[in-house]
Amino acid sequence: MANTENVEIGVIGGSGFYSFLEDVTEVRVDTPYGPPSDSLFLGELAGRRVAFLPRHGRGHHLPPHRINYRANLWALRSVGARQVLGPCAVGGLRPEYGPGTLLVPDQFVDRTQSRKQSYFDGLPLPDGTEPNVVHVSLADPYCPTGRKVALKAARGWDWEAVDGGTLVVVEGPRFSTRAESLWYRAQGWSVVGMTGHPEAALARELELCYTSMTLVTDLDAGAETGQGVSHDEVMRVFAANVDRLREVLFDAVAGLPENAARDCLCASALGGMDPGFELP
């Protein structure tokens, strides 16, 4: 494996962001849970060593329910990352959260069905290691420090980011029915996406700081008239905002604390409990 020393921060996001890193090195990483979505792309950004991972793989060939989330988070930790930023596209569930809104959630609701969402599922690893049963607190699923940094970075680019809200994560790859979308809105939830879980939960089990940055690309099916959201609409709005999102993301990378200075609960989420296997 190429030199991965001093990697501090992981970024899970759309293909192409890594092209702006300096002196990019492509690294293939093996994990006990199989291969991650793609190679890791290592480089320097704002004086920080970053490992970037395309969530859906190059070419966007992996649908949300086929992503190997466990391998992705494990791979990032294995190269040294202890803080992770996870930008993603979402649908807005409220009229005020229209296309182009950046929302930094503080809660999520899991509506997925088939994803492997824990390292502590009681099944042996491929090498025969049997993990212990560990229950990790996820009352506040996102890193409070990372959220503050992301919001400050967004506002530095005159983006009035929404501070807090609930991301409901659905299985995909289909979009919501109109009834589902209206129900999510009635619960008071803010945005709907397909990839925010189990990323946050797995990051907590590995004692990683995880921060989600959600870009609203549509009003989901929540509008009571019209045709509902389309794939083309999502891609068009994301493309129109990707340059600004990239700048915000890069400023957030620069603003995160040194790994050794982390003082949030994420860094000690296991509380000394023995997971039964060695963390990377």
Examine residue 279 and state whether it is found in any structural domain, yes or no: no
Q: Would you say residue 199 has pLDDT above 70?
A: yes
Residues 156-193 as b or e (16 or more Cβ within 10 Å = b): eeebebbeebbbbbbbbeebbeeebbbebbeeebbbbb
Q: Would you say residue 18 has pLDDT above 80?
A: no
pTM: 0.92
Examine residue 105 and state whether it is found in any structural domain, yes or no: yes
Residue 219: what pLDDT? 81
pLDDT band at 126 (very low <50, low <70, confident <90, very high): confident
Helix (H, G, I), strand (E, B), or coil: what is residue 54?
strand
Q: Which CATH number does the domain housing residue 22 bear?
A: 3.40.50.1580
Examine residue 273 and state whether it is found in any structural domain, yes or no: no
What percentage of the chain exceeds 90 in pLDDT?
Answer: 66
Closest by Cα among 181, 174, 171, 162 to 223: 181
pLDDT, greater one: 234 or 72: 72
Q: Would you say residue 188 has pLDDT above 70?
A: yes
Examine residue 180 and state whether it is found in any structural domain, yes or no: yes
Helix (H, G, I), strand (E, B), or coil: what is residue 209?
strand
What percentage of the chain exceeds 70 in pLDDT?
Answer: 88
- What residue numbers does the annotated binding site cover? 15, 55-56, 194-195, 218-220
Q: Would you say residue 1 has pLDDT above 50?
A: no
Closest by Cα among 275, 129, 150, 111 to 204: 275
257 upstream amide cis, omega within 30 of 0: no
pLDDT band at 263 (very low <50, low <70, confident <90, very high): very high
Examine residue 96 and state whether it is found in any structural domain, yes or no: yes
Q: How many domains does the chain have?
A: 1
pLDDT in tens, 73-104: 999 999 999 999 999 989 999 989 988 899 99
Rounded Cα distance, 144 and 39, in Å = 29
Examine residue 40 and state whether it is found in any structural domain, yes or no: yes
- Mean pLDDT for 226-245 is 65
Which residues 6+ apart lie within 8 Å of 202 measured at CB? 69, 70, 73, 117, 118, 119
- Mean pLDDT for 10-21 is 73
Instruction: Round the average pLDDT of the chain to a whole number and report it.
Output: 89
Tell me which residues are annotated as active site: 218, 220
Q: What are phi and psi of 11, to 5 degrees?
A: -125, 125
Provide the residue range defining the domain that includes 127.
Answer: 9-268
Examine residue 86 and state whether it is found in any structural domain, yes or no: yes
Residue 45: what pLDDT? 87
Residue 12: what pLDDT? 95
CB atoms inside a 10 Å sphere around CB 257: 15
- What residue numbers does the annotated binding site for substrate cover? 194, 218-220
- What residue numbers does the annotated binding site for phosphate cover? 15, 55-56, 195
pLDDT band at 131 (very low <50, low <70, confident <90, very high): confident
Q: What are phi and psi of 273, to 5 degrees?
A: -65, 145
Examine residue 3 and state whether it is found in any structural domain, yes or no: no
